[in-house]
Amino acid sequence: MHRRKLAHVSSGILTAAALAVFALVGVRPAAAQQSAPAASAPPPPAADETDDPYEATNRAIFGFNQGVDRTVLVPVANAYRAVIPSTFRDMIHDFLQNLNSPIIFANDVLQGQPGLAGETFGRALINTTIGFGGMFDVAAKWGVPYHTNDLGITLATWGMGSGPYLMLPILGPSNPRDLFGDIADSFGDPGNVVASEHNKIWASFARGAASGIDERSRNIESLAEIERTSLDFYATIRSLARQRRAAQIRHQKEDVPNAAPLQGASALPTPAPRESIAALPSQTNAAMSYRMLSPPQPSGRSLTDLQKSSMAPSAASGR
């Protein structure tokens, strides 16, 4: 017991030390921005779309992940949607997001984002109290939207490159920078620390599984449509994962499906692709109108008269 506590204390000290180093390093860029307000901060380094040196191995792992997804994750996600009403699914989704608040707040601070940090703190306070422990996203209804943040985004903000593209077993697309960030965030997450201190490691795994199932259930139709229409599903997922991560690093709205649902939840469910032609935008501005034709009225003429009248144009044309 004492060894376990000592290990958690030491890991906590190392995590705190790392966060302190990032905080100290962040003082200089902040001062530079104040001294030169007209200059904009350089964007984080973008990943090269061709930076996939382990593509053969990644494709093999991707194939394995697809098998697990079809046989396990999608059936479980469908059962989750079938058994649990949408209202309760939204409550679970909001509760899981609220549990992420401490890590999000810490990375907001490390990135020098006081506005985002204030939003995260306010959301956690409102949803934990008025929202009954986070089961209701009251803050979003009051105009304070959810945003995600993690140590991988923090490292990217301060100039660290992502490194080569990696396809992780079960977890999906990632890279060395984000993998390191996810591990560090898991050690620093207060919920995981409390579960470990009380010998309830299973609670951390249950939380991760619930988050993955919830997120996978929100991307079933979108990912299925992407797979159906993709010539190379692996390359499409790689591109989507990088686009989504780039949007998160820029703190922009994520408008692409989550290609790695087991790694983190989105703010909102991804809308299903529009498959109906009626949902497609019109190419012209002119409105199209239709007129219902009235059924033909009986003329009272005999069949012989009708045949003669139908033959008349032919005869006229033959003259």
pLDDT in tens, the chain (319 residues): 444 444 443 444 344 444 333 333 333 333 333 333 333 344 444 445 558 999 999 999 999 999 999 999 999 999 999 999 999 999 999 999 999 999 999 999 999 999 999 999 999 999 999 999 999 999 999 999 999 999 999 999 999 999 999 999 999 999 999 999 999 999 999 999 999 999 999 999 999 999 999 999 999 999 999 999 999 999 999 999 999 999 999 998 767 778 777 665 544 444 444 443 333 343 333 343 444 444 444 445 554 554 454 444 444 444 4
Map out the domains of the chain as residue ranges. 1-35, 53-83+150-274
Of 194, 191, 187, the C-alpha closest to 13 is 187
Alpha-carbon distance values, 312 to 93, 106, 307, 317 (Å): 75, 89, 9, 9
Alpha-carbon distance values, 82 to 70, 85, 199, 222, 245 (Å): 17, 7, 33, 18, 30
Q: What are the CB-based long-range contacts (under 8 Å, 24+) for 235-243? A: 237/62, 237/172, 237/173, 238/49, 238/52, 238/165, 238/173, 239/49, 241/172, 241/173, 242/47, 242/49, 242/165, 242/173
* Cα gap 283→173, rounded to integer Å: 37
